[in-house]
Amino acid sequence: MTDNIELTHQQERAFQPQRLSAPRDFILPSIIGENKNNLPLLLEIGAGKGKHALGFAVRNADKHLIAIERTRNKFEAFAKLAAIQASPNLDAIHADAIAWTVHAIKPNSLAKIFILYPNPEQHNPNQQWLNMPFFEFLLSRLQVNGEVILVTNIEAYMDNAERQATKVWCLPNTRYTVATDSQRTHFEVKYLARGETCWELNMRKPEGYKTRFDEWQVGHISEDK
Ligand SMILES: C[S@@+](CC[C@H](N)C(=O)[O-])C[C@H]1O[C@@H](n2cnc3c(N)ncnc32)[C@H](O)[C@@H]1O
Protein backbone atom coordinates (compact mmCIF):
# COMPACT_ATOMS: atom_id res chain seq x y z
CA MET A 1 0.00 0.00 0.00
CA THR A 2 2.83 2.40 0.82
CA ASP A 3 5.09 1.09 -1.97
CA ASN A 4 4.67 4.21 -4.07
CA ILE A 5 4.70 6.66 -1.20
CA GLU A 6 8.00 8.33 -0.56
CA LEU A 7 7.87 8.12 3.22
CA THR A 8 8.53 11.61 4.52
CA HIS A 9 10.12 10.28 7.71
CA GLN A 10 12.98 8.77 5.72
CA GLN A 11 14.12 12.31 4.97
CA GLU A 12 14.27 13.12 8.69
CA ARG A 13 17.33 12.76 10.91
CA ALA A 14 17.64 9.08 11.79
CA PHE A 15 17.49 7.72 15.32
CA GLN A 16 20.76 6.05 16.36
CA PRO A 17 19.92 2.93 18.39
CA GLN A 18 23.52 1.72 18.45
CA ARG A 19 24.42 4.68 20.67
CA LEU A 20 22.14 3.63 23.54
CA SER A 21 23.48 1.36 26.24
CA ALA A 22 21.19 -1.11 27.95
CA PRO A 23 19.29 0.31 30.96
CA ARG A 24 20.82 -0.37 34.38
CA ASP A 25 20.02 -3.89 35.70
CA PHE A 26 18.57 -4.79 32.30
CA ILE A 27 16.99 -8.25 32.16
CA LEU A 28 15.27 -9.55 29.06
CA PRO A 29 11.72 -10.69 30.02
CA SER A 30 11.17 -14.37 29.26
CA ILE A 31 8.24 -13.53 26.92
CA ILE A 32 10.74 -12.02 24.44
CA GLY A 33 12.78 -15.21 24.10
CA GLU A 34 10.02 -17.77 24.46
CA ASN A 35 6.48 -16.70 23.72
CA LYS A 36 5.29 -20.33 23.95
CA ASN A 37 1.60 -19.60 23.56
CA ASN A 38 2.21 -17.07 20.81
CA LEU A 39 0.36 -14.35 22.72
CA PRO A 40 0.09 -10.96 21.01
CA LEU A 41 2.71 -8.72 22.61
CA LEU A 42 1.76 -5.16 23.62
CA LEU A 43 3.83 -2.30 25.02
CA GLU A 44 2.76 0.57 27.29
CA ILE A 45 5.10 3.57 27.53
CA GLY A 46 4.84 5.77 30.64
CA ALA A 47 2.57 3.48 32.66
CA GLY A 48 2.57 5.69 35.78
CA LYS A 49 1.23 3.75 38.79
CA GLY A 50 -0.05 1.06 36.44
CA LYS A 51 -3.83 1.51 36.62
CA HIS A 52 -4.29 0.81 32.90
CA ALA A 53 -1.71 -1.99 32.74
CA LEU A 54 -3.11 -3.88 35.75
CA GLY A 55 -6.69 -3.67 34.51
CA PHE A 56 -5.71 -4.55 30.95
CA ALA A 57 -3.82 -7.68 32.04
CA VAL A 58 -6.86 -8.97 33.96
CA ARG A 59 -9.28 -8.29 31.12
CA ASN A 60 -6.98 -9.67 28.38
CA ALA A 61 -5.55 -13.01 29.49
CA ASP A 62 -4.92 -13.84 25.83
CA LYS A 63 -2.45 -10.96 25.40
CA HIS A 64 0.89 -10.11 27.05
CA LEU A 65 1.56 -6.52 28.11
CA ILE A 66 4.94 -5.01 28.91
CA ALA A 67 4.39 -1.73 30.78
CA ILE A 68 7.33 0.64 31.31
CA GLU A 69 7.61 3.53 33.77
CA ARG A 70 10.72 5.68 34.30
CA THR A 71 9.89 7.59 37.50
CA ARG A 72 10.96 5.61 40.55
CA ASN A 73 8.16 6.43 43.01
CA LYS A 74 5.43 5.82 40.43
CA PHE A 75 7.08 2.58 39.35
CA GLU A 76 7.35 1.39 42.96
CA ALA A 77 3.61 1.90 43.48
CA PHE A 78 2.96 0.02 40.21
CA ALA A 79 5.39 -2.79 41.07
CA LYS A 80 3.78 -3.34 44.48
CA LEU A 81 0.31 -3.76 42.96
CA ALA A 82 1.69 -5.88 40.10
CA ALA A 83 3.31 -8.23 42.62
CA ILE A 84 0.00 -8.63 44.50
CA GLN A 85 -1.98 -9.16 41.30
CA ALA A 86 0.68 -11.53 39.89
CA SER A 87 -0.72 -11.61 36.36
CA PRO A 88 1.47 -13.94 34.26
CA ASN A 89 0.71 -11.82 31.19
CA LEU A 90 2.10 -8.55 32.59
CA ASP A 91 5.71 -7.36 32.92
CA ALA A 92 6.16 -4.14 34.92
CA ILE A 93 9.48 -2.56 33.94
CA HIS A 94 11.38 0.30 35.61
CA ALA A 95 13.36 1.93 32.81
CA ASP A 96 13.53 4.61 30.21
CA ALA A 97 11.28 3.25 27.48
CA ILE A 98 13.58 4.37 24.67
CA ALA A 99 16.71 2.51 25.75
CA TRP A 100 14.65 -0.43 26.99
CA THR A 101 12.77 -0.84 23.70
CA VAL A 102 16.01 -0.70 21.73
CA HIS A 103 17.49 -3.47 23.88
CA ALA A 104 14.48 -5.73 24.28
CA ILE A 105 11.99 -5.55 21.45
CA LYS A 106 12.43 -7.36 18.14
CA PRO A 107 11.40 -5.78 14.85
CA ASN A 108 7.83 -6.42 13.69
CA SER A 109 6.82 -7.96 17.05
CA LEU A 110 4.29 -5.66 18.78
CA ALA A 111 0.56 -5.83 18.17
CA LYS A 112 -0.13 -2.54 19.95
CA ILE A 113 1.63 0.33 21.70
CA PHE A 114 -0.13 2.48 24.33
CA ILE A 115 1.07 6.00 25.09
CA LEU A 116 -1.52 7.26 27.57
CA TYR A 117 -1.32 10.88 28.71
CA PRO A 118 2.37 11.46 27.92
CA ASN A 119 4.16 14.40 29.52
CA PRO A 120 2.95 17.48 27.55
CA GLU A 121 6.49 18.76 26.75
CA GLN A 122 4.95 22.10 25.73
CA HIS A 123 8.27 23.92 26.16
CA ASN A 124 10.26 21.17 24.52
CA PRO A 125 8.14 19.95 21.60
CA ASN A 126 10.98 17.89 20.16
CA GLN A 127 10.42 15.60 23.17
CA GLN A 128 6.82 14.88 22.12
CA TRP A 129 6.69 11.26 20.98
CA LEU A 130 5.66 11.86 17.37
CA ASN A 131 8.32 14.57 16.95
CA MET A 132 11.14 12.26 17.99
CA PRO A 133 13.42 10.31 15.59
CA PHE A 134 12.82 7.39 18.03
CA PHE A 135 9.23 7.16 16.75
CA GLU A 136 10.52 5.63 13.50
CA PHE A 137 12.32 2.97 15.54
CA LEU A 138 9.14 2.35 17.55
CA LEU A 139 7.20 1.85 14.31
CA SER A 140 9.78 -0.71 13.18
CA ARG A 141 8.89 -2.79 16.28
CA LEU A 142 5.18 -2.77 15.36
CA GLN A 143 3.62 -5.56 13.29
CA VAL A 144 1.76 -4.80 10.08
CA ASN A 145 -1.73 -3.62 11.06
CA GLY A 146 -0.43 -3.04 14.59
CA GLU A 147 -1.67 0.11 16.31
CA VAL A 148 -0.27 2.98 18.33
CA ILE A 149 -2.83 4.47 20.74
CA LEU A 150 -2.02 7.97 21.96
CA VAL A 151 -4.26 9.77 24.46
CA THR A 152 -3.89 13.31 25.79
CA ASN A 153 -5.85 16.17 27.36
CA ILE A 154 -3.72 18.78 25.56
CA GLU A 155 -5.42 19.84 22.34
CA ALA A 156 -2.22 21.28 20.81
CA TYR A 157 -0.40 17.99 21.53
CA MET A 158 -3.17 16.08 19.77
CA ASP A 159 -3.30 18.49 16.81
CA ASN A 160 0.44 18.11 16.31
CA ALA A 161 0.35 14.32 16.74
CA GLU A 162 -2.45 13.99 14.19
CA ARG A 163 -0.51 16.17 11.70
CA GLN A 164 2.74 14.26 12.25
CA ALA A 165 1.00 10.88 11.97
CA THR A 166 -0.39 11.86 8.59
CA LYS A 167 2.34 14.05 7.06
CA VAL A 168 5.59 12.65 8.46
CA TRP A 169 4.80 9.06 9.46
CA CYS A 170 2.22 8.34 6.72
CA LEU A 171 0.03 6.31 9.09
CA PRO A 172 -3.71 5.91 8.59
CA ASN A 173 -5.18 7.38 11.76
CA THR A 174 -8.45 8.24 13.48
CA ARG A 175 -9.02 10.82 16.19
CA TYR A 176 -11.68 10.35 18.87
CA THR A 177 -12.94 12.19 21.92
CA VAL A 178 -12.56 10.03 25.05
CA ALA A 179 -15.88 9.13 26.71
CA THR A 180 -16.49 11.22 29.82
CA ASP A 181 -16.92 8.11 32.00
CA SER A 182 -13.67 6.45 30.85
CA GLN A 183 -11.30 5.59 33.72
CA ARG A 184 -8.31 3.88 32.11
CA THR A 185 -5.55 5.76 33.93
CA HIS A 186 -5.09 7.99 36.98
CA PHE A 187 -4.52 11.01 34.76
CA GLU A 188 -7.60 10.22 32.69
CA VAL A 189 -9.75 10.05 35.84
CA LYS A 190 -8.32 13.37 37.04
CA TYR A 191 -8.76 15.27 33.76
CA LEU A 192 -12.28 14.00 33.07
CA ALA A 193 -13.36 14.77 36.66
CA ARG A 194 -12.23 18.37 36.03
CA GLY A 195 -14.51 18.45 32.97
CA GLU A 196 -11.60 18.55 30.49
CA THR A 197 -11.85 17.03 27.03
CA CYS A 198 -9.42 14.19 26.33
CA TRP A 199 -8.50 12.99 22.83
CA GLU A 200 -7.35 9.66 21.48
CA LEU A 201 -5.46 9.04 18.24
CA ASN A 202 -5.39 5.51 16.84
CA MET A 203 -2.65 5.01 14.24
CA ARG A 204 -2.22 1.85 12.17
CA LYS A 205 0.91 0.53 10.46
CA PRO A 206 -0.16 -0.33 6.91
CA GLU A 207 0.98 -3.21 4.73
CA GLY A 208 4.32 -2.54 2.98
CA TYR A 209 5.39 0.12 5.50
CA LYS A 210 9.16 0.55 5.63
CA THR A 211 11.46 2.09 8.23
CA ARG A 212 15.25 2.28 8.35
CA PHE A 213 15.26 -0.15 11.30
CA ASP A 214 13.26 -3.06 9.96
CA GLU A 215 16.32 -5.35 10.13
CA TRP A 216 17.96 -3.75 13.18
CA GLN A 217 18.18 -5.76 16.40
CA VAL A 218 20.68 -5.90 19.28
CA GLY A 219 22.76 -9.04 19.46
CA HIS A 220 21.42 -10.38 22.76
CA ILE A 221 17.80 -10.85 21.59
CA SER A 222 17.72 -14.51 20.73
CA GLU A 223 15.45 -16.13 18.19
CA ASP A 224 12.23 -17.79 19.42
CA LYS A 225 12.87 -21.17 20.96
C1 LIG B 1 1.58 12.32 32.74
S2 LIG B 1 2.16 10.80 33.28
C3 LIG B 1 0.87 9.66 32.83
C4 LIG B 1 0.96 8.35 33.56
C5 LIG B 1 -0.14 7.34 33.17
N6 LIG B 1 -0.02 6.93 31.80
C7 LIG B 1 -1.50 7.92 33.44
O8 LIG B 1 -2.16 8.29 32.46
O9 LIG B 1 -1.92 7.98 34.60
C10 LIG B 1 3.42 10.40 32.10
C11 LIG B 1 4.36 9.31 32.57
O12 LIG B 1 5.25 8.95 31.54
C13 LIG B 1 6.48 8.62 32.16
N14 LIG B 1 7.53 8.71 31.13
C15 LIG B 1 7.87 9.82 30.41
N16 LIG B 1 8.88 9.54 29.57
C17 LIG B 1 9.18 8.23 29.75
C18 LIG B 1 10.14 7.36 29.18
N19 LIG B 1 11.01 7.78 28.26
N20 LIG B 1 10.17 6.08 29.61
C21 LIG B 1 9.30 5.64 30.54
N22 LIG B 1 8.38 6.41 31.13
C23 LIG B 1 8.32 7.70 30.74
C24 LIG B 1 6.64 9.64 33.26
O25 LIG B 1 7.53 9.20 34.26
C26 LIG B 1 5.20 9.74 33.76
O27 LIG B 1 4.95 8.86 34.82
Quick check: 153 pLDDT over 80? yes
Give the pLDDT confidence score for residue 1 in this predicted structure: 44
In whole angstroms, give the CA distance from residue 63 to residue 221: 21
Give the separation between CA 152 and CA 205, rounded to whole angstroms. Answer: 21
Nearest atom, ligand 1, residue 44 CA: 6
Q: Would you give the distance in Å from CA 102 to the centre of its chain?
A: 12
Choose the weakest-confidence range: 11-25, 54-68, 194-208.
11-25
Site residues for ligand 1, CB cut-off 6 Å:
45-48, 68-71, 74, 96-98, 116-119, 185-188
Tell me how far the alpha carbon of residue 37 lies from the centroid of ligand 1, in angstroms. Answer: 30
Domain boundaries, the chain: 52-97, 150-196
Residue 2 reports pLDDT greater than 70: no
Give the confidence band of 36 by pLDDT, cuts at 50, 70, 90. Answer: confident
Pocket test of ligand 1: the residue of 54, 69, 115 to mutate, having most ligand atoms within 8 Å of its CB, is 69
Contact 170, 8 (CB under 8 A): yes
Q: What is the pLDDT of residue 9?
A: 77
Residues 56-114 have pLDDT tens digits of: 999 999 999 999 999 999 999 999 999 999 999 999 999 999 999 999 999 999 999 99
